[in-house]
Structure 1
Amino acid sequence: MNIQGDMMPSTVLLVGTSALHRDRRWHHLADRGISFVPVPRAGFRLDHSIRAGVHAILYQVGPDTDATLAFLDEAAAGPSDLCIILLGRSSKADSVALYLRRGAYDYISWPCSIGRLADSITSGLAKRRMSIEVRNLSGTLASANSTLAHDRDMLKQYNQRLAGLNQLTQALAGSLKSEDVVQALFAGLPALIGADLIGVARNTRAQIWTWSREADPVREEAARAHLLRSVEHAPSRITSGATTLRLIHSRPLPIVSSATDPAGKCRFPHGVAYDIPLVFGPHNNGVLHVARSGSIPFSEQEHQLLATVGTSLSLSLRNADTYQDIQELASRDPLTGVLNRRSLDGPLTREFKAGLRYGASACLMLLDLDYFKTVNDRLGHTAGDRVLKDLAKLMTDTVRDVDIVGRYGGEEFAVILPHTSLEQAKSLAERLRSLIERQAFSLDDGMVRTTVSIGIADAPHPTIASIADWVNAADTALYAAKAQGRNCVVVYSPLHLAPVQAAALCAAA
């Protein structure tokens, strides 16, 4: 029987006594393709140099059972798979079982036939080869499973990021105010990209918003300085969150590096940042600034994600601007630019409810130009429109920023004065009346002068139970001013004549 094959070792160690080495059986097995290297059993130790070329060991068992067990333990602790076959005299079954449990492949009672030796060596090496192949296959499978697990984790992260991106873009698109759009960005982007700092800058709207994970004012101010340098025209104001701040520092702050490469990347001493351009129109642009701590740069996938966010943010802010412009047009009187009558309902409701809930005094003034019909009849409606526009500007320039001016209809205007007492309202009304009386309104072919009658009503008031009552009260005071000769200010009192009676008196006058 020829036992050569690719699974046979190049060398088989024969560890035993010299008498074992001289046995003729080994010569017969060598003729069949097995190369034996005799090694004395006394002082034999396994080392890496011996292990490197050895696949099998025939080990002669001596009288010292512990020495054999120690050898088996040493072989089992090594990094390679050795086929160990023990040779010894007939032994007890429990001793043989102990050897096999400790790692021996076979136990051959010596002396034995050549066929018994050949079969044991052949089957032992085949089992060893199979064990190695199974182990290698297990390693390959483990590596493949690890790769699959990594790919699965990456796919899971990608799906989560894609879902987060979809949720963020929907939140951006669903907001119709610039502040709400940016707040939606601040709420969704940090978890999506691992951002610690976000900034948004716009050049034409003169706004900058910033957000930081730790609410770090120094780092946010540094980011605002960086964003100011990034937009074409430095804004005149800065918006942080929902708060408008004046720009105090004109010098660049050292925390932010001003160097930005063509790809939009910029480095910080304590992190990395990325700038995404925003485009709102031909001359309207901005920057989305995203930074995070650490030295790991943004990946290509993150760059693509941020580019998508930047596009969605640009569209959402542009839509918000359009919506705001439409709302502004819808709420303004097209001739004078002040609020129209419908838009006055909101401020009236707000101040009236505040008065009922908190006792905060507010006043409503109604102003009506005296003899304005004469201006239209004699000078034309174009001249009348010019007077109305100039009058609205004069009123807007005279009242406080918190006061609300609106055109109530025709030549009649309303002014809502929050947190204002009757005395304060009357003083303002007298100042307005005097300014209008002295004002010479310029026309294309000359000048014209006019006067106004003003009625004032405050809320809360014992006789005013609704917004309609409040407006009627101011209207009653206005007609009383007309009845008293015009060009005067009248504060509402329940003792005044009813509006119809007052109007009759005016007509009679």
Structure 2
Amino acid sequence: MNGQTKKLMWGLGISDKDAEVIRHAAGDQFALTCFPVGITPSVDQLEADKPCLLWISKQGWDAFKALPASATAHIDVASRILIMGGDYDLAELESLLECGFAEIIKPPITEDRAREVLLSAVETQNLYQDIVHMTREICMERELLERKNDVLSFLVSFLEKVTQHLDPAEILRAAQSELATLLPVSAINAICWPPQSSENVHATIYVASNNKNDTTYTWTEKLKSHAEQLLGNGVVSIDMNYMGSTATNIEPEPEKLLAVNLEYGGSKFGVVMVQCSDHPQLGKDQIQVLQSAISHLTLGLNNAMLYTAAQHNADFDGLTKLYNRRHFDTRLLEENTRHRRYGHSLCLLIADIDNFKKINDTYGHLAGDAVLRDLGRILEQSLRTSDYIARFGGEEFAVLLPCTSISHATTLAERIRAQIQEHAFATDKGILNTTASIGVACIDLSKDESPVEIIRRADAALYRAKREGKNQVTVLYPTSSLLLAEGYAT
């Protein structure tokens, strides 16, 4: 009966006479299929015919009730009309009304009565269908609102997490944790540099790893290559930031990788690579959410890189790229407190280029700048990673040597002095040679003195070296008021 245009009705146990009356009353818009008493249509028949109305005789209903509930439960989905023949009392009628019949009529059925009941039942059925349709629409709208609410909650949480830090590594860790609720994210790695940098940039690579290994090397090369393509020229230098993660051995796989260029206000400042544990097949909604999340991540990283650049400019000397005097004063206070707490020796070297004014006056300030940069590199290459170097001011450089005796500090200072004397300084005016004088001092653990005192002693030792002919190392011991040109007792 599929494909017919007529609406279908079922008759269960009704007489041929009643069926004929119902067919005449229904007209051409309805068709009636009858089943004898004791025969219950199956679920498959119900699915195939989808009857809009069931006409059931009292005898058919009695046989219907005698069957197990599992065999008749599916019949309850359609509207039902009971043809109540025979004798019955009020109590029985009330119990039948409670069985969910839309109408109960008493034979003989007339066409007018059948048509009236049919129209009423169809109207009820249509109203029911409208209610079902409206309910479905409401459920769909509710589901849509819940999804939108989930998306909004995700974006609010994501924005909060990626903007509450000014450390790019913390931002990337937070982004990975949040994005993992949307995508099968296994790692987020990035390369970033200060916004509005010049063509040649100094970048930092952030890798989801605890230390350097073959995998981090692969990520480093991939990130650096992508950055160079984005900038159109080489990245001058990079720093590594190992963000710490359990994902230390996840190799980049192009088919599982989402690379996003970071750009804000027309300025490119990095690349973020999102590594998924599975092939990322995103729907339209997920792509829109991901785009919004990346916009928030871009904003957070832009602010972090601006802050990092400002902090770098505040702490570093622009010419030599060493720490500046401001940062040195803070570091000296920290190291002095730490070394006094544990009773360890802390030494300070102050090196000053000899006759630096003459270099500037004779060869120009560009040549003088080249000498300062070279001297900074000599110091970096001569010291341990635990040692600290700063441009103290002008042509002076300060070196803090943690946990170092004054005899070892003096030996190191002498080695540095010799390296400077032998070094060929390359400038725009050719190769220059120069020397440096170095003052050495250490903190006095026997006294509770200010950190300024070690600066005074090192400075006094330096000026003694200058007065006595330059190009030499001079030491001022805490217990002596005399400046000694040499001597290695601790």
The answer, yes or no, to whether TM exceeds 0.5 is: yes
Question: What residue is the counterpart of 1:261 in the other structure?
Answer: none
Query: 2:33 and 2:135 mapped to 1: Cα distance?
Result: 40
- 3-state SS of the aligned residue for 2:185? coil
Tell me: CA distance 1:86–1:224, structure 2 relative to 1, closer, same or farther (3 Å).
farther
- 1:331 Cα shift? 4.3
Q: Are residue 199 (structure 1) and residue 189 (structure 2) matched?
A: yes
Say if 2:219 and 2:252, in contact at 8 Å, map to a contact too.
yes
Match of 1:138?
A: 131
Offset at 1:352? Answer: 0.9
Which of the numbers 492, 496, 502 marks the counterpart of 2:477? 492
Equivalent runs, 1:370-409 vs 2, <5 Å? 372=355, 375=358, 385=368, 389=372, 391-409=375-393
Rg comparison, structure with higher value: 1
Query: Structure 1 residue 143: deviation in Å?
Result: 0.7
Instruction: Return the offset for 1:320.
Output: 5.2
Among 79, 82, 95, which residue is 2:80 paired with? 82
**Residue 149 (structure 1) aligns with:** 142
Q: Match of 1:198, as an amino acid?
A: I
Once the two structures are TM-superposed, the CA of residue 85 in structure 1 deviates from its matched residue by 0.8
> SS at 1:275's partner residue?
strand
Give the structure 2 partner of residue 242 of structure 1.
243
Q: CA deviation at 1:151?
A: 1.8
Amino acid at match of 1:359: G
- 1:262 aligned partner: none
Residue 466 of structure 1: CA displacement?
A: 1.6
Alignment-mate amino acid for residue 82 of structure 2: I
Q: CA 1:106–1:392 in 2, change beyond 3 Å: closer, same or farther?
A: closer
* Residues in 1 aligned to 2:271 and 2:442: alpha-carbon distance in whole angstroms: 48
1:322-401 alignment runs, 5 A limit:
324-325=308-309, 327-333=311-317, 338-368=322-352, 372=355, 375=358, 385=368, 389=372, 391-401=375-385
Match of 1:289 among 265, 273, 289: 273
Following TM superposition, by how much is the alpha carbon of 1:287 offset from its aligned partner in structure 2, in angstroms? 3.2
Q: Distance between the aligned counterparts of 1:77 and 1:379, measured in 2?
A: 106
Match of 1:167 in 2: 160
- Which residue is equivalent to 1:473? 457
- 1:321 Cα offset (Å): 5.2
Greater alpha carbon shift after TM alignment, 375-384 vs 289-298: 375-384
Q: C-alpha separation between the residues in 2 aligned to 1:430 and 1:473?
A: 18
Normalising by the residue count of structure 1, what TM-score does the alignment of the two structures yield?
0.66
What is the deviation of 1:441?
A: 6.8
CA contact (8 A) 1:96 1:107 kept: no
Instruction: Report the 3-state secondary structure (helix = DSSP H, G, I; strand = E; otherwise coil) of the residue aligned with 1:474.
Output: helix
Query: What secondary structure does 1:287 align onto?
Result: strand
Partner in structure 2 of residue 275 of structure 1 = 259
Cα pair distance change 1:67/1:324, threshold 3 Å: closer
Name the residue aligned to 2:198: none
How many angstroms does 1:422 deviate by?
A: 1.8
Deviates more, 1:407-416 or 1:227-236: 227-236
Does the residue aligned with 2:384 lie in a helix, a strand or coil? coil
State which drifts further: 410-419 or 421-430.
410-419
Describe the shift of the 1:99–1:492 C-alpha distance in structure 2 as closer, same or farther (beyond 3 A): same
Q: Is the 8 A contact 2:460 2:476 kept in 1?
A: no
SS of the residue 1:196 aligns to:
strand
Match of 1:158 among 151, 162, 180: 151
- Once the two structures are TM-superposed, the CA of residue 415 in structure 1 deviates from its matched residue by 1.8
- In the TM superposition, 1:421-500 aligns within 5 A as 421-436=405-420, 450=435, 452=437, 454-459=438-443, 461-478=445-462, 481=465, 487-497=472-482
Comparing 199-208 with 153-162, greater Cα deviation is found at 199-208
Q: Summarize the Cα distance change of 1:362–1:83 in structure 2 as closer, same or farther, 3 Å threshold.
A: same
Question: Do the aligned residues in 2 keep the contact of 1:476 with 1:496 (CA within 8 Å)?
Answer: no
Please state whether the residue corresponding to 1:350 is helix, strand or coil.
Answer: helix
Match 2:399 to one of 400, 405, 415: 415
Q: In structure 2, the residue corresponding to 1:400 is in which secondary structure? A: coil
Q: Secondary structure at the match of 1:349?
A: helix
Residues 156-212 of structure 1 show CA distances to partners (whole Å, capped at 9, x for unaligned) of 1232234235435644xx62x544554454455444656333222459545443449
Which AA in structure 1 matches 2:410?
A: K
**Matching of residues 5-84 of structure 1 within 5 Å:** 15=14, 33=25, 44-47=38-41, 55=53, 57=55, 59=57, 61=59, 67=63, 69-70=65-66, 77-78=74-75, 79-84=77-82
Shift, 1:362, TM fit? 1.9
Q: What is the rounded CA distance, in whole Å, between the counterparts of 1:449 and 1:71 in structure 2?
A: 112
Alpha-carbon distance in structure 2 between the residues aligned to 1:211 and 1:363: 37
Give 1:496's aligned amino acid: S
Contact in 1 for aligned 2:316/2:323 (Cα 8 Å): yes
How far off its partner does 1:428 sit? 0.6
Does residue 129 (structure 1) correspond to residue 117 (structure 2)? The answer is no
- Structure 1 residues 128 and 166 mapped into 2: Cα distance closer, same or farther (>3 Å)? same
User: Counterpart in 2 of 1:209?
Assistant: 206
- What is the RMSD computed on CA atoms of the aligned residues? 5.3
Provide Cα deviations, 1:244-294, integer angstroms capped at 9, x if missing partner.
9xxx99xxx9x6543xxxxxxxx34xxxx4322335899977532224445
* Cα drift, residue 426 of structure 1: 1.4
TM-score (norm 2): 0.69
Larger relative contact order, structure 1 or 2 (CA cutoff 8 Å, min sep 6): 2
Task: Give the direction of change, closer, same or farther, for the CA distance of 1:362–1:299 in structure 2 (3 Å limit).
Answer: farther
Shift of 1:57: 4.0
Amino acid in structure 1 at the alignment position of 2:475: V
- Secondary structure of 2:415 counterpart: helix
Classify 1:359/1:82 alpha carbon distance in 2 versus 1 (closer, same or farther; 3 Å): same
Superposition deviation, residue 86 in structure 1: 2.0
The offset of 1:408, in angstroms, is 3.3
Sequence identity percentage: 22
In structure 2, relative to structure 1, the CA distance for the partners of 1:343 and 1:418 (3 Å cut) is same
